[in-house]
Amino acid sequence: MTLVAEIKETKKQPVRGMMDNVMEQFNSAADKIHLHPNIRKILSITNNEIVVNFPVKMDNGDVEIFRGYRVQHNNALGPYKGGLRYHPTVDIDAARALAMWMTWKTSLAGLPYGGGKGGIQLDPTKYSQSELERITRRFTFALADNIGPEHDIPAPDVNTNSQTMAWMADTYMSTRPPAERTANQHVVTGKPAGSGGLEGRDRATGYGVFLSIKFWAEKKDMCLTGKKFIVQGFGNVGYWAAHFLEKEGAVLVAVQDAFGSIENQQGIMVEDLLDYTKANKGSIVDYPRATHIKKSDFFATNCDICIPAALGNQITSENALQINATLIAEGANGPTNVEGEKILLERGVSIIPDILCNSGGVVGSYYEWLQNRNGELWQLDEVMAKLEKKLRESFNKVHDYSEEENLDMRTAAYCLAIKRIERAYIERGIFP
Ligand code: NAD
């Protein structure tokens, strides 16, 4: 299939149902902990949904109108926090579901944040770098005071990166009164290290995915050396997770991205594949040291560990039976739907749920926010050590609770996350 045909295929994929998925996961955990009915009502809806339409001048002089979203689900524990995604599948349903996942994730990680998410419905491969810059700056301007360093703090997500965050921070700061400009640097996290970013934020999510797998293996007395793994999505999360797993001795045997799927049971060298994608418009297609496989065969690849690190709703009842891995480590948000999960759990496959597995990203973002707020500069080794300590605590908390209550890890993670928010509401009451 050509690159263009593969992208069209991606666009057709259903994202409807992400909201059903997150609500089913929430309700099942809420039942388990007998969540107070009033708090269930509050957490079942989003606080604010901002939809902005804005014009941007294209390189050829034409004006195009874009639609951007920011959904703020809940801020009982602190400012809204969550990524911005540039993808054709971004819509209000996806933004709502992803914002809810952020609320559970920040609560579980013990951070002083709530949950938000947003993005723009677009295919970034169709735009030049200067068009993407103008789109980002105009989107930031349109969001105006709906974001802010103590109110709602975006971060990178699919098809956005540290460059996107640098443009956002610069636009936000440039539109403040002069005396407030530099004090607003922490309006976004995931910035480049030279512009207020945190050393190590780039790898924080993938490192967290790797650590979750390592902690899981330790509990099973399992050594990761020689274990085969597959990665869906070779972007920020997928690449860094693969990088750290390979360093630990595990072997990457298949990769899928938006453009194609490849396999080599003898092993695919992670850095070599990264170099190839850099020279190939970001795509793994036609990588010479692996074989092309069909998109539909990817999850059936022979392996021990499967890391979905692309989009939501990828592991479903359609392919859960074919999966060979004994562990799914969810780098992406919402990659496994409820039906797919039921099949996997019945088959004895373990799942490290997204809100735990990929929480290294938001923990790294929290450190960046603190660094900016306090006018500090942290070293890489310091950041990595802090991340490991924090993520080990979270992993142990979820693991122990799941054992004590005889729950799967996702339900255990949800129960712990929701209980923390419930306590905040009970202590504070409802205004007025
Ligand atoms: P990215 O844009 O850097 O990479 C996304 C990758 O997924 C690319 O390789 C792309 O080709 C691939 N992809 C897109 N559509 C695909 C499809 N239909 N099938 C297979 N591959 C496809 O994005 P990222 O930041 O690595 O985010 C990946 C996932 O991780 C998302 O679900 C995101 O919400 C989640 N996540 C990201 C962070 C972060 O810090 N970046 C934190 C937590 C969770």
326, part of any domain: yes
209 lines ligand 1 (CB under 6 A): no
Task: Give the model's pLDDT for residue 71.
Answer: 98
Task: Give the model's pLDDT for residue 6.
Answer: 41
- 175 with 218, same domain: the answer is no
46 lines ligand 1 (CB under 6 A): no
- 152 with 236, same domain: the answer is no
407 lines ligand 1 (CB under 6 A): no
- 37 with 172, same domain: the answer is yes
381, part of any domain: no
Closest C-alpha residue for ligand 1 atom 20: 257
Domain extent, residue 274, equals 204-348
The rounded Å distance from CA 432 to ligand 1 centre is 41
The rounded Å distance from CA 142 to ligand 1 centre is 25
Q: How does DSSP classify residue 199?
A: T
Q: Would you write out the chain's pLDDT as a tens digit for each of its 432 residues?
A: 433 344 344 444 444 489 999 999 999 999 999 999 999 999 999 999 999 999 999 999 999 999 999 999 999 999 999 999 999 999 999 999 999 999 999 999 999 999 999 999 999 999 999 999 999 999 999 999 999 999 999 999 999 999 999 999 999 999 999 888 888 999 999 999 999 999 999 999 999 999 999 999 999 999 999 999 999 999 999 999 999 999 999 999 999 999 999 999 999 999 999 999 999 999 999 999 999 999 999 999 999 999 999 999 999 999 999 999 999 999 999 999 999 999 999 999 999 999 999 999 999 999 999 999 999 999 999 999 999 999 999 999 999 999 999 999 999 999 999 999 999 999 999 999
The rounded Å distance from CA 122 to ligand 1 centre is 15
Which ligand 1 atom minimizes the distance to the CA of 310? Answer: 7
Q: What is the CATH number of the domain that holds 274?
A: 3.40.50.720
- 85 with 32, same domain: the answer is yes
The rounded Å distance from CA 238 to ligand 1 centre is 7
Task: Give the model's pLDDT for residue 181.
Answer: 85
Q: What is the CATH number of the domain that holds 54?
A: 3.40.50.10860
The rounded Å distance from CA 258 to ligand 1 centre is 9
- 134 with 165, same domain: the answer is yes
- 333 with 217, same domain: the answer is yes
- 52 with 129, same domain: the answer is yes
- Among 348, 368, 402, the domain boundary falls at 348
193, part of any domain: no
390, part of any domain: no
265, part of any domain: yes
- Among 156, 184, 212, the domain boundary falls at 184
Task: Give the model's pLDDT for residue 395.
Answer: 98
257 lines ligand 1 (CB under 6 A): yes
309 lines ligand 1 (CB under 6 A): yes
Which ligand 1 atom minimizes the distance to the CA of 358? Answer: 43
Which ligand 1 atom minimizes the distance to the CA of 10? Answer: 18
Task: Give the model's pLDDT for residue 383.
Answer: 97
Residues with catalytic annotation?
Answer: 117
Identify whether the C-beta of residue 169 lies closer than 8 Å to the C-beta of residue 196: yes
Closest C-alpha residue for ligand 1 atom 35: 332
The rounded Å distance from CA 331 to ligand 1 centre is 8
- 232 with 89, same domain: the answer is no
- 312 with 225, same domain: the answer is yes
The rounded Å distance from CA 310 to ligand 1 centre is 4
422, part of any domain: no
- 230 with 342, same domain: the answer is yes
Task: Give the model's pLDDT for residue 17.
Answer: 80
Identify whether the C-beta of residue 106 lies closer than 8 Å to the C-beta of residue 122: no
Is the whole model's pTM more than 0.85, yes or no?
A: yes
356 lines ligand 1 (CB under 6 A): no
- 217 with 155, same domain: the answer is no
Ligand 1 pocket mutation, candidates 230, 257, 352, criterion most atoms within 8 A of CB: 257
418, part of any domain: no
331 lines ligand 1 (CB under 6 A): yes
Ligand 1 pocket mutation, candidates 237, 252, 259, 357, criterion most atoms within 8 A of CB: 237
311 lines ligand 1 (CB under 6 A): yes
The rounded Å distance from CA 319 to ligand 1 centre is 20
156 lines ligand 1 (CB under 6 A): yes
- 237 with 96, same domain: the answer is no
236 lines ligand 1 (CB under 6 A): yes
- Among 138, 155, 184, the domain boundary falls at 184
403, part of any domain: no
- Domains in the chain, number: 2
Closest C-alpha residue for ligand 1 atom 17: 258
